Amino acid sequence: MRKVMEKLITVINEISESVCNYADKIKMFVYAIATWYLATFSEVIPTFKIITAVFIAQILTGTFVGVNIKHEDFSKTKFFKAILEAVFYLMTVKFISEMGKVYNDVNLAEQVIKYITYLVTWAYGCSLFKNLKLLFPESKPIGIIYELLSTEIYKKIKDKYKTNKDETGTTK
């Protein structure tokens, strides 16, 4: 019995060493990717953070609403398309940044990046508040923010102040 226990301890130690070596290799891989990311995208990291944060908030609420409110199945295809869309925006920002350096017009590139960031943030924000409105239908602030961000407020204003004309063209 003692030999069996010693053999078992030896096997456990070997597995432990193997796992530690594997974990160290993964850790080095993660460090290498993080370093590459920081070196490559250091000028546009603030923009990446903004777009990534609003994307994550939007995708989480969209998934939660789809599964729990609309009773849809989780769609991997839809999820990966959303990720590709976010990656497209991030790569566009990087390309514009590089183009500004190549053409020695960094100020214009920064201005275009700001516009793209505002537009993407606005679009994701509209979707986010649309989903939040479904999650919290009784919340007046969420409803107001959604109406201000989207075009819903313009539709309401148009409907409220629309004049009723009869067939002859005169106002009633």
Instruction: Please tell me the total count of domains within the chain.
Output: 1
The answer, as to whether pTM is greater than 0.75, is no
**Sequence-distant (≥ 6) Cβ neighbours of residue 141 within 8 angstroms:** none
**Sequence-distant (≥ 6) Cβ neighbours of residue 101 within 8 angstroms:** 109
Note whether residue 10 is domain-resident: no
Note whether residue 48 is domain-resident: yes
Note whether residue 101 is domain-resident: yes
CB atoms within 10 A of CB 47: 23
Note whether residue 149 is domain-resident: yes
Which SS3 state, helix, strand or coil, does residue 165 take? strand
Note whether residue 78 is domain-resident: yes
The pLDDT profile of the chain, 172 residues, written as one tens digit per residue, is 677 777 777 877 777 777 666 766 777 777 777 777 666 666 777 888 888 888 999 889 988 888 888 888 888 888 888 889 888 998 899 899 999 999 999 999 999 999 998 998 898 989 999 999 999 999 999 988 888 888 777 777 778 787 555 455 555 5
Q: Return the structure tokens found at 45.
A: 């990291």
Note whether residue 64 is domain-resident: yes
Note whether residue 17 is domain-resident: no
Q: Return the structure tokens found at 16.
A: 């432990």
Domain encompassing residue 145: 42-161
Per-residue pLDDT reduced to its tens digit, 112-132: 999 998 998 898 989 999 999
Note whether residue 154 is domain-resident: yes
